[in-house]
Amino acid sequence: MTEEQRTPGELSEMPAEQQAGAEDESLFEQVVAEQSAAEPPAEDQAEDEAWEQALADENPLQAELDAAKAKADEYLAMAQRVQADFDNFRRRNANLRAEAFADGQREVATAMLNVLDNLERALASAGEDSPLRSGIELTLKQMTAVYEKLGVTCIDRLGEPFDPNLENAVLQGSPEEGEPGTVCQVLQKGYQMDGHVLRHAMVKVVAEA
């Protein structure tokens, strides 16, 4: 008989030792009842176990999916690096081609300067009535037009202060010929193209005082 089944009178009539035993028995039964109430129903527990098993079964597939995604990201990054390297290579190639083309133009223009000089000398020596004068003038005009199209300009700084970046001083002038340090005579024309000197001008410079 439990403590709930015993009446207060019956408990008080029992010896002290029996009363203590009855109280312990009642406390034990109370703890067992609380644990039974806290345990989930058998159906809920079965569902939880089934869910945990499903998650465990899916883990290998998830691992494979993660590995495939990581490999895809790696290939994508590699492809992006290759594309960037190719773009840089293409730009460098374009710049090299442009520089090579410009260098070739400057070399040809420089090589043809002697022809231009000779045409100017021939025109200067031809008489007004010479039958060759018109032909020389036409040829010189055509060549000058080509040079203008290429961006070739004459270095003509008569009366300007001498600039060693543009001119070569080959003769020294007297103070009567101009201001000290200035170009008083151009002996041979100089030419430049896009900021690059094709040929320095040969000049005569007034001596410094």
Q: For 46-64, what is each residue's pLDDT tens digit?
A: 666 666 666 555 567 777 8
Sign of CA dihedral 84, 89, 90, 91: positive
Q: Among 193, 181, 124, 121, which residue's Cα sits nearest to residue 157? A: 181
pLDDT attached to residue 3: 44
User: By residue range, what is the domain housing residue 175?
Assistant: 152-209
Residue 181 falls inside a structural domain: yes
Residue 140 falls inside a structural domain: no
pLDDT reading at 5 higher than 70: no
Bridging pattern class, strands 167-173 and 201-206:
parallel
Q: Are 129 and 152 in contact (CB under 8 A)?
A: no
Q: Based on the structure, what is the number of domains in the chain?
A: 1
Residue 13 falls inside a structural domain: no
Residue 179 falls inside a structural domain: yes
Per DSSP (E only), the strands in the chain are 152-155, 167-173, 183-188, 190-193, 196-199, 201-206
The pLDDT-based confidence of 205 (bands split at 50, 70, 90) is very high
Residue 167 falls inside a structural domain: yes
The pLDDT-based confidence of 70 (bands split at 50, 70, 90) is confident
* Reported pTM: 0.57
pLDDT attached to residue 1: 46
Residues 149-202 have pLDDT tens digits of 999 999 989 999 999 999 999 999 988 888 999 999 999 999 999 889 999 999
* Average confidence score pLDDT of the chain: 81
pLDDT reading at 31 higher than 80: no
d(CA 199, CA 147): 14
pLDDT attached to residue 2: 44
